[in-house]
A and B are shown apart, each in its own frame.
Chain A
Amino acid sequence: MTPGRSSGAVLLAVDNISLSFGGVKALTGISFDVREQEIRAIIGPNGAGKSSMLNVINGVYHPQQGTITFRGEVRRDMNTHRAAAQGIARTFQNIALFKGMSVLDNILTGRNLKMHATFIEQAIYLGRARREELENRRKVEEVIDFLEIQHIRKTPVGKLPYGLQKRVELARALAAEPILLLLDEPMAGMNIEEKQDMCRFVLDVNEQYGTTIVLIEHDMGVVMDISDRVIVLDYGKKIGDGTPDEVRGSQAVIDAYLGVAN
């Protein structure tokens, strides 16, 4: 089964984005779009600006130039809270979970923006707070079931192996019921079996919830297998954009990855 929905409407468009830190240009004039329900991969060598790109999309970094259009709304930059409220969730390259908290509690934090009861209501656990709590817990349990992590529900995250922590992080992002999911190297450091599981989950999320996914990944096999379209970055510039087959055949991409004699 290959996902085949690349003809949807544009969900996110970045136009001519440039980002620099002092004299270092992280991104230079990047433009691309992400269509609804597609899986869009960003690849490139180390330091190409992949993570910076994600950080611009969800508002961690503010680009000096360019615009971001998300669901028809044009902005100069995002901020993280607004991005989350609008339905953008993400995972991080170096897992960012609360290590001392249980898996369940970690995933519940993903529901934070869906909780509206006041502090007092929550303290006495009546009416709205109770309803919300039940609803949030049910949603979290669905995600736990979906990602098959029932057996570690009550385990502190710090005790888990790396592959499972990655899955918990994905679970937390999913708990927010995102429209757009940003995954920063979801399969880094995993063995073949864990990677296969993760691929399956990414495809299932995309299929089951219709979530649009932008992912950064180094494993070319994975990228080519699961993504609809691929963007290639190198030294902050876009050097390729297209279907996996198109990208694979591009000379610029081959040079960037294999190196070229100067």
Chain B
Amino acid sequence: MEAELATFPRLLLEHAHVRGERPATREKDLGIWQTWTWAQVADEVRALACGLAALGFKRGMRLAIIGDNRPRLYWSMTAAQALGGIAVPMYQDAPAAEFVYVLNDAEIVYAIVEDQEQVDKILEAAPQVPSLKHIYYDDPRGLRNYEGVTSIDRLQEIGREFDLAHPDFYNDEVARGRSGDVSIVLYTSGTTGKPKGVCQTHAAFIVSAQGGCGFDKLDSRDSILSYLPMAWVGDHLFSYAQWLVAGFTINCPESGDTVMTDLREIGPTYYFAPPRVFENLLTQVMIRMEDASPIKRGLFRYFTAVARRCGAAILDRKPVSVSDRLLYALGNVLVYAPLRNVLGMSRIRVAYTAGAAIGPDLFRFYRSIGINLKQLYGSTETCAYVCLQPDGGVKFDTVGEAAPGVEIKIAEGGEVLVRGPMLLKEYYKRPDATAESIDSEGFFHTGDAGLIDDSGQLKIIDRAKDVGKMNGGAMFAPNYIENKLKFFPHIKEAVAFGNGRDSVCAFINIDMGSVGNWAERRGIAYSGYTDLGAKPEVYRLIGECVEEVNAELAREGPLSASQIHRFIILHKELDPDDDELTRTRKVRRNFIAEKYGVLIDALYSDRDVQHIETLVKFEDGRSGMVAADLKIEEAKTLPAADAREAA
């Protein structure tokens, strides 16, 4: 006999029963936060499911869901699952051409999309997707004269009629669902090759959500902001699985641009963001502090120094001197509390970051002002659930200890292997890939190289396949170097080369916000990214960052050979639309190496200028050429002797 609450639709019915009047979903619409209670959500989902069923949606079918975080799109997932179907959320910012692959791979017949923009894209993709028959949209604006698409309102109307005629249908369908059924297919971002559909069951996500909620004591009183792409495993765990397991409230922002304001209005108790979001927030604070009056600036400097000294220790309940405690309390009133309020983090109990390495200074800053920021480790294949950092055991260079129910093992080559109930069932229609990544003992090969430190926490070094060797025989871990570079607010993206070479060279993308502001303050005029990146002053600025990284590397023994000898500031920002980054903003190393081969050759020659023309895709789908003469700059490296001494 299967447990009562083994699937998401059953969990929803349970919440509607137990806490029917409590808020389940909020969305800011027309400037006002609208609330749906659990009972209302259950009713909406029921209408959606019945509508889909009335129009022919069958058990096992897959429902594509494309759009920003909208309540009805989240509900559509449950509706599909209630019918024994599978939700396939897709990245909403991908162009139509990228839709085609996933729509075909998942053999999509039914799709629910957000608005006109997404309808236009899916209609553009449709001729190449023969299976696609039904398209529903959430926001009707601009769609009045479209043919062949139906509004969700209409779908729900049909559903309610169907429900009246078949009153037992919905509950029967929900009861037929099994915990071992696949509930969702999440497509991996694919740093190599075509995206793969990761099939996860109800059981996997429910176990992961329960583990996480138990670990951090999350319950129905918590509240989160749902603003990360719905196609990303992190959002699915936090805004969907944990939502339905813990029964807390999810809040959908008004639009992608209003997230900061909405965050402040909602004041979530539980927050999740990739490092770049925390970094942007801090950059904004710093920019505003530079514009503040001298008194405020002085207070801010003084008390952030106090916080750096003792803030993290106070958060971890470690012994701190009385005078520091008093100073910190004063700083809390004058600086930290108002700052947390501005950031929308006044009520946060637990905040997580994952998806990329976070800079130590950045990480410490948030913790020092009293925000319980922690790291976790996981991937799409593991429901984003492998390691979590426990309260009081937080470090910046590890990703935490094994989460409840998870086994971790380090393979001979250093690859991290994991086993547990959160593992994927399979890659969709790819038994070869499934067999390749899950071994006979049931361990999933993460592809990350890592080690377990003295305290039992996992430390990730790099992607296993990216780790290479330099001609001198020294280990080359590109991510490790790139992350060090990216910890500087002026550097947005970096790509390091060195595998099979004598020395390490790098491409740099400057951070337009940060460097732009820096330039304005110095009265340096520029017209755009390309122009700013080519300024000698900017080259000097970035050069200093590179040299600091070199100094750090020189002290790290075996990695001292990885010091960066020459670098180029790229003439364009690396962009997912040009296939240079994945949708989750990971560097596609091989693609970049091929595309910019001429620049790499130049880096390893003795030329100091190189001409390049690059095809770029604009956001509207058109493309054009960008040409530039790029300067190659030498960076000072520290002699090996120094490195040996330090090591």
Q: Do A and B come from one complex?
A: yes
Which A residues form the contact surface with B (CB < 8 A)? 1, 137-138, 141-142, 144-146, 148, 150-151, 153-154, 192-193, 196, 200, 203-204, 207-208
CA distance A148 to B257 in the complex (A): 9
Q: Given the complex, which residues of B lie within 8 Å of A207, measured CB to CB?
A: 142, 144-145
B31 touches A150 (CB 8 A): yes
Residues A141 and B261 in contact, CB atoms below 8 Å apart? no
Contact B255 A208 (CB under 8 A): no
Q: Are B30 and A138 in contact (CB under 8 A)?
A: yes
Report yes or no: A193 in contact with B142, Cβ–Cβ below 8 A: no
Does B620 sit within 8 A of A, measured CB to CB? yes
Is B145 in contact with A150, judged by CB distance below 8 angstroms?
Answer: no
On whether the beta carbons of A153 and B620 are closer than 8 Å, the reply is no
Interface SS majority for chain A: helix
A144 to B146, CA, bound (A): 23
Nearest 7 pairs between A and B by C-beta? A151-B257, A141-B30, A141-B31, A151-B258, A204-B142, A150-B254, A150-B258
- Besides the known contacts A151-B254, A196-B620, 20 further A-B residue pairs in the complex with CB atoms under 8 A apart: A1-B145, A141-B30, A141-B31, A142-B30, A145-B30, A146-B141, A150-B31, A153-B31, A192-B618, A192-B620, A192-B622, A193-B618, A193-B620, A200-B142, A203-B142, A204-B142, A207-B142, A207-B144, A208-B141, A208-B142
Contacts of A193 in B (CB 8 A): 618-620
How far, in angstroms, from A200 to B145 measured CA to CA in the complex?
14
Q: Cα distance A138–B145 when bound, in Å? A: 26
Between A and B, 16 residue pairs with Cβ closer than 8 Å are A1-B145, A1-B146, A138-B30, A141-B31, A141-B32, A144-B30, A144-B31, A150-B28, A150-B258, A151-B254, A151-B257, A151-B258, A151-B261, A193-B620, A200-B142, A208-B144
The proximity string for B residues 600-634 relative to A, scoring 1 for CB distances below 8 Å and 0 otherwise, is 00000000000000000011101000000000000
| Complex Cα–Cα for A226 and B135 (A) | 27
Q: A203 to chain B: which residues have CB within 8 Å?
A: 142
Residues of B368-412 at the interface with A, using a CB-CB cut-off of 8 Å, are: none
B residues less than 8 Å from A146 (CB atoms): 141
CB neighbours (8 Å) of B30 from chain A are: 138, 141-142, 144-145
Task: List the B side residues contacting A150 at CB < 8 Å.
Answer: 28, 31, 254-255, 257-258
| Residue in B closest to A204 when the chains form the complex, CB atoms | B142
A199 → chain B closest CB, angstroms: 11
Which chain A residue shows the least CB distance to B30? A141
Instruction: Note all chain A residues with C-beta closer than 8 A to B141.
Output: 146, 204, 208
B367: shortest Cβ distance to chain A, in Å? 29
Task: Please provide the chain B residues from 259 to 278 with a CB less than 8 Å away from any CB of chain A in the complex.
Answer: 261
B29 within 8 A of A: yes
Q: Are A148 and B145 in contact (CB under 8 A)?
A: no
What 0/1 pattern do residues 121 to 152 of B give for CB contact below 8 A with A? 00000000000000000000110111000000
A-B contact count (CB 8 A): 44
Q: How far is the CA of A148 from the CA of B116 in the complex (A)?
A: 13
Looking at the assembled complex, report how far the CB atom of B529 sits from the nearest CB atom of chain A, in whole angstroms: 13
Q: Please provide the chain B residues from 23 to 37 with a CB less than 8 Å away from any CB of chain A in the complex.
A: 28-32
Tell me which residues across on chain A come within 8 A of B255, comparing CB atoms.
148, 150-151
Tell me which residues across on chain A come within 8 A of B620, comparing CB atoms.
Answer: 192-193, 196
**Which chain A residue has the least Cβ–Cβ distance from B255?**
A150
- In the bound complex, residues from chain B placing their C-beta under 8 Å from that of A153 are 31
Spell out B's residues near A (CB within 8 Å). Answer: 28-32, 141-142, 144-146, 254-255, 257-258, 261, 618-620, 622
B332 to chain A, nearest CB (A): 28
From B141, B146, B622, residue with most partner A Cβ within 10 Å: B141
Residues on B with beta carbons closer than 8 Å to the beta carbon of A200? 142
Chain B residue at minimal CB-CB distance from A3 = B145
Q: Within 8 Å CB of B32, what residues of A?
A: 141
> Chain B residues with Cβ under 8 A from A154's Cβ?
261
CA distance A137 to B141 in the complex (A): 20
CB of B377 to closest CB in A, whole Å: 33
Which chain A residues lie closer than 8 Å to B145 at the CB level?
1, 207
- Chain A residues with Cβ under 8 A from B144's Cβ? 207-208
- A144 surroundings in chain B (CB, below 8 A): 30-31
Which of chain A's residues have a CB closer than 8 A to the CB of B257? Answer: 150-151
Closest residue of chain B to A145 (Cβ to Cβ) is B30
B309 to chain A, nearest CB (A): 37
Q: Which residues of A contact B261 (CB under 8 A)?
A: 151, 154
Query: Complex Cα distance A203/B146, Å?
Result: 14
Docked pose: A126 CA to B520 CA in angstroms: 49
**Contact partners of A192 in chain B: CB under 8 A:** 618, 620, 622
Q: CA separation between A144 and B258, bound complex, in Å? A: 13
- Min Cβ gap B34→A in Å is 12
Report the Cα distance A227→B261, complex, angstroms: 37
CB distance from B620 to the nearest CB of A (A): 6
Q: Enumerate chain B residues within 8 angstroms of A204, measured Cβ to Cβ.
A: 141-142
Cβ of B597 to closest chain A Cβ, rounded Å = 30
A158 to chain B, nearest CB (A): 16
Chain B residue at minimal CB-CB distance from A200: B142
Residues of B within 8 A of A148 (CB): 255
* Chain B residues with CB below 8 A from A141, complex form: 30-32
Q: Report the separation of the CA atoms of residues A204 and B146 in the bound assembly, to the nearest whole angstrom.
A: 13
| Nearest A-chain residue to B259, judged by Cβ | A151
The CB with the most chain A CB atoms within 10 A, among B142, B146, B257, is that of: B142
State in angstroms the CA–CA spacing of A203 and B618 once bound together.
Answer: 22
Given A192-B620, A196-B620, are A145 and B29 also a contact pair (CB < 8 Å)? yes
A141 to B257, CA, bound (A): 16
B109 to chain A, nearest CB (A): 25
- From A137, A138, A144, A150, name the one whose CB has the most chain B CB atoms within 10 angstroms: A150
- How far is A151 from B145 in the complex, measured between Cα atoms in Å? 28
**Shortest Cβ distance from A9 into chain B, in angstroms?**
21
Q: Give the complex CA separation of A196 and B620 in angstroms.
A: 8
Closest-CB distance, B61 to chain A (whole angstroms): 30
Query: What are the residues of chain B within 8 A of A151 when measuring CB–CB?
Result: 254-255, 257-258, 261
Q: Report B623 CB to chain A, min CB distance, Å.
A: 12
Q: How far is the CB of A49 from chain B (nearest CB, A)?
A: 33
Inter-chain CA distance A177–B119, complex, in Å, is 27
Closest to B257 in A: A151
**Interface core residue of B28, B29, B254 (most chain A CB under 10 Å):** B254
A4 to chain B, nearest CB (A): 9
Residues of B within 8 A of A145 (CB): 29-30
Write the chain B residue with the least CB distance to A140: B31
Closest chain-A Cβ to B31's Cβ sits at a distance in Å of: 4
Tell me the bound Cα distance from A113 to B619 in angstroms: 39
B117 to A, closest residue via Cβ: A200
Least Cβ–Cβ distance between B66 and chain A, in angstroms: 18
Q: How far is the CA of A46 from the CA of B28 in the complex (A)?
A: 45
Q: Which residue of A lies closest to B146 (CB)?
A: A1
With CB as the reference atom, state the residue of chain A lying closest to B145. A1
**Smallest CB separation, A211 vs chain B (Å):** 14
**Nearest A residue to B253 by beta-carbon distance?**
A150
Q: Of all chain B residues, which has the CB nearest A195?
A: B620
From A137, which residue of chain B is reached at the shortest CB distance?
B31
Bound together, the chains give a CA A153 to CA B257 distance in angstroms of 11
* Residue of B with least CB distance to A203: B142
Give the residues in chain B near A138, CB-CB below 8 Å.
Answer: 30
Q: Provide the bound-state CA to CA distance between A1 and B148, in Å.
A: 14
* B32 to chain A: closest residue by CB: A141
- For the complex, give the distance between the alpha carbons of A151 and B257 in Å: 5
CB distance from B232 to the nearest CB of A (A): 22
CA distance A64 to B255 in the complex (A): 50
Task: Please give the distance in Å from B572's CB to the nearest CB on chain A.
Answer: 16
Cα–Cα distance between A162 and B269 once the two chains are bound (Å): 37
Q: How far is the CA of A154 from the CA of B260 in the complex (A)?
A: 13
Closest to A191 in B: B618
Instruction: Determine how close the nearest CB of chain A comes to the CB of B549; give it in whole angstroms.
Output: 35
Complex Cα spacing A94 to B622, Å: 30
Which chain B residues lie closer than 8 Å to A137 at the CB level?
31
C-alpha gap A145/B139 in the complex (Å): 11
Q: Which single residue of chain B is at the shortest CB-CB distance from A201?
A: B142
